[in-house]
Amino acid sequence: MMGRMSLHTDLRIDDPDGFYEKLIDLHEGLTPAQSHMVNAKLIMLLANQVADRELLDRILELVRPAGPA
């Protein structure tokens, strides 16, 4: 199936700084393992909202660091 959505890299959310602050606060007091689990759940929920596998694959390619770790 061809992707239906465009990949937007410009800021499109209201109050991005406030959202970022809330995201950081979400991790306060969590162990590293809990923090990783929260991130994984958040990623899966947001990916489900996008619901376009081709677009999700493009996003994964975009965020992967270049070169060796």
User: Taking phi first (over 0 means left), then psi (-120 to 50 degrees means alpha), and beta for anything else, what does residue 22 get?
Assistant: alpha
How close are the terminal C-alpha atoms of the chain, in Å? 33
Each residue's pLDDT tens digit, 8-64:
989 999 999 999 999 999 999 999 999 999 999 999 999 999 999 999 999 999 999
What is the pLDDT at residue 1? Answer: 47
Name the more confident of 67 and 48: 48
pTM exceeds 0.85 for this model:
no
